Chain A
């Protein structure tokens, strides 16, 4: 008997069931509209406060899609702020490393210095810089807000919506995650020769498990009664969406896998009853939240990871995944975390192996549409939302 998550007929009906135009995954014109109407205007999740836990800690994030280098710093007051990483003097990049701890940011070019709150504090030979008004020459701020320690920025200086209304019902869900004190453990990524939405789609469907992941995922997230690893639930939160992964409780672990699982059970947590998790299910393995536009957050009882996608153009995407855990108190716990992180990294490496072939096929123009399996309903939803943002809904209709 095949296993199918319950999906309301209303959603099915709204999203339709026909083929979907494939041009949106390779058209440069479509990408330019995404850049201007999505990446420059919506809230982008770029990390967690835990990435810069103490006053003076900073990180630099490149939003290459928009050509923006961004400096995020925790001030002496403990507040996290974002700035364009650009000096007021000759517009040089102020901070050239990717993270660190500082009391002041000093530009390497001519030595102008800024404090952690972005104010201009030092100008060598200041008396010979005519017309300088220090108060107007601080670092240029970028709009930043947080939800449950997740850091969001918006390149629109006057966002159309605040973060809470942008996230809608997801706001409360993220706020209920029980991850206080979890720290970044490992962060990795690559420049992939593929459209950013293809990576997002790959991570929001389970239909590829038995093929792309033929040796790793089957029998763990597929199994008796659920041969293709259908999620236990799909949820929709306006423009955002999630799926809940199914785990095979009968899986017989291999030896080292079993040791790690045993230590994980001792150290690990169970799904908390109540508001945290989405729909409860005995086989619930993890919940994967896709935040429009370019972030996925996957939460399991003792692991969380976040993937951010930044397209350079229609066919290239810089992706980064960061894995978070509670701080290990024992070697046993450390080993369970290392195993879970290693397994995740290897699965993502398997996903990477399909990307270039996917883009080449799409770009060839051989096909003008793609077909979605029922399990790919989140991809269909994502396509509809993206079309709406870029104003391409009418084009998309014509293919059906």
Chain B
């Protein structure tokens, strides 16, 4: 279960339950299961804060992050999945992606 975010980033709290998840496969699944509107809302809220977030997380060593900073990192990693659907693909090609991506098995995941 994800902890809530540090006070500096409280406005991103509504995105935690959907996007702050562990594992690349899980973040990919969230992307595939989300709507175009959900991805867009997440992307638009995250993008203006991303550099600030990363500087904030990096005030602690990466293997000793507090749960709040760890949730923040998971949001940042999920932003990457969401960005693929907006910056690289469009609604139509994202549907094509979802079709082939459903065939992919994951053998070894990152955190």
Contacts and interface: CB of A to CB of B under 8 A. Distances in A.
Contact of A334 (B73, B79, B83, B93): B73
A366 interface: no
A320 B108 CA distance: 11
Contacts of B83: 254-257
Nearest to A333: B62
Interface string A188-204: 11100000000000000
Interface in A254-268: 254-257, 259-260, 263
B76 interface: yes
Given A331-B54, A335-B54, A349-B100, A215 B107 contact: no
Interface string B47-75: 10011001001100010000000000100
A329 B58 CA distance: 9
Given A255-B83, A346-B101, 14 more contacts: A187-B106, A187-B107, A188-B104, A188-B107, A189-B107, A215-B88, A256-B87, A331-B73, A332-B58, A335-B54, A338-B80, A349-B101, A350-B97, A350-B100
A302 B13 CA distance: 33
Contacts of A184: 108
Nearest to A322: B108
B110 A338 contact: yes
Count class of interface residues, chain A: 35 or more
Contacts of A215: 88-90, 93
Contacts of B89: 215-216
B29 interface: no
A345 interface: yes
A339 interface: yes
A331 B57 contact: yes
A32 B79 CA distance: 46
A259 B108 CA distance: 26
A353 interface: yes
21 contacts: A185-B110, A186-B106, A188-B104, A190-B105, A254-B87, A255-B47, A255-B87, A257-B83, A259-B50, A259-B54, A322-B108, A330-B58, A331-B54, A334-B77, A335-B54, A335-B76, A338-B24, A342-B84, A346-B88, A349-B101, A350-B97
B80 to A, nearest CB: 5
B8 interface: no
A331 B111 CA distance: 12
Contact of B77 (A216, A322, A335): A335
Contact of B80 (A189, A256, A328, A332): A256
A350 B43 CA distance: 23
Interface of A: 98-99, 184-190, 215-216, 254-257, 259-260, 263, 320, 322, 328-332, 334-335, 338-339, 341-343, 345-346, 349-350, 352-353
Contacts of A352: 100, 103-104
A330 B69 CA distance: 12
A338 B50 contact: no
A260 B103 CA distance: 27
A328 B57 CA distance: 13
B47 A263 contact: no
Contacts of B28: 342, 345
A188 B29 CA distance: 14
A190 B104 contact: yes
Given A187-B107, A260-B80, A331-B62, A341 B101 contact: no
Contact of A256 (B50, B73, B90, B100): B50
Across the A-B interface, give the 10 residue pairs with the lowest CB-CB distance, nearest first: A254-B87, A256-B83, A187-B108, A331-B57, A187-B107, A352-B100, A349-B100, A353-B100, A190-B103, A188-B106
